[in-house]
Amino acid sequence: MKDLREHTRELLEKGEIAAVIGYRQVSEMRTKPVIVTDPADAEHLVFNEYCLNNLAVYLTKARIKALCRTKDKTLKLAITAKPCDVHSIVALIQENQIHRKDIHIISFNCHGVVKDFGCEFNGDNLASKCITCETHKPLYFDKIFGEEKETPKASDQALARIQELESMTHKERFEFFKGEFDRCIKCYACRAVCPLCYCQRCITDKAIPRWIESSSHQRGNFSWNIVRAFHLSARCTGCGECERACPADIPLTLLNRRMAIEAKRSFSYVSGRSLETPTLVGSFNEKDSDELFM
């Protein structure tokens, strides 16, 4: 923690960065996102098992313009990012939303986070993405802190659920998701927390023509969740924030992860892993298979 605070204070004092997007402890088992611009406030920054939010959602063109552009130059924006959050940053760079040169990535050797605030950190309360995490070290960073530690052992219930769903008939699977989506209250928290949901005007907000019913109605709920899943396919980096934010406990991970499995299986593509690779949906390869899953 001391290293993180000293590093960010120094960068702010030297004027190398305009601000740090990071975490602040608000109670024993809860943190909240903060944007630090005053070097004296760097002492509040933390990184631990309660740093749940994916802060990449704050990396927008508008924020970089507002915080980092001065009359003469553009300063960097620093962000503290778990290795999985670095995937979101990479995806945003791949999609030309931000530039690598504008971002100072401070990351950590990560051994996992809890599934929700207020939970003890152990195998029963591990965030599901941590159970299958393949990148406890960040793929890209400018500064890294923390020692490597073991992640608590836990079973991959999400994958077991996906396999269970795949063994169902189309009708049974349709009924399952219809039942889940029925609870959607159209709060759009899933959209608000997603770093890759950055469209300035979402299709669901368009009224002429109205493609998706705005009220919390079965037909519109289904359209919203399916349209979002397709829009995020081969783009979702699996941060799990949408599911964590959903007040209706809809298992959005089942959809997102299933789409990610398919992108990997059919096109050997995993979102947000390489700055050198074009996005799957933004590139064309003659050798791509025409077979799609059913």
Interface residue list for ligand SF4 (CB under 6 A): 82-84, 110, 112-113, 127, 129-130, 133, 135-136, 151, 184-190, 193-194, 196, 225, 232, 236-242, 245-248, 250, 256
Which CB sits closer to ligand SF4, 11 or 280?
Answer: 280
CA-nearest of 260, 267, 270, 257 to 290 is: 267
**To the nearest whole angstrom, how small is the minimum distance from the Cβ of residue 169 to ligand SF4?**
24
Q: Are 264 and 270 a contacting pair, CB within 8 Å?
A: yes
**Strand ranges for the chain from DSSP E:** 17-27, 30-36, 45-46, 76-81, 103-108, 143-145
In angstroms, give the least distance from the CB of 194 to ligand SF4.
3
- Rounded to whole angstroms, how far apart are CA atoms 148 and 168? 40
Query: Nearer to ligand SF4 by C-beta: 8 or 271?
Result: 271
Question: Which of 68, 144 has the CB closer to ligand SF4?
Answer: 144
Contact 109, 143 (CB under 8 A): no
Residue 5 or residue 87: which is nearer to ligand SF4 going by CB? 87
Q: How far is the CB of 35 from ligand SF4 (least distance, A)?
A: 20
- In angstroms, the CA 140 to CA 218 distance is 42
Q: Quick one: 29 or 68, whose CB is closer to ligand SF4?
A: 29
Q: In the complex, what is the shortest distance from the CB of residue 255 to ligand SF4, in angstroms, rounded to a whole number? A: 9
What's the closest the beta carbon of residue 271 comes to ligand SF4, in angstroms? 8
For ligand SF4, the closer of residues 36 and 130 by Cβ is 130
The answer, yes or no, to whether the previous bond of 247 is cis (omega within 30 of 0) is: no
CB of 245 to ligand SF4, least distance (A): 6
Whether the bond into 251 is cis, omega within 30 of 0: no
Dist. CA 173–CA 181, nearest whole Å: 12
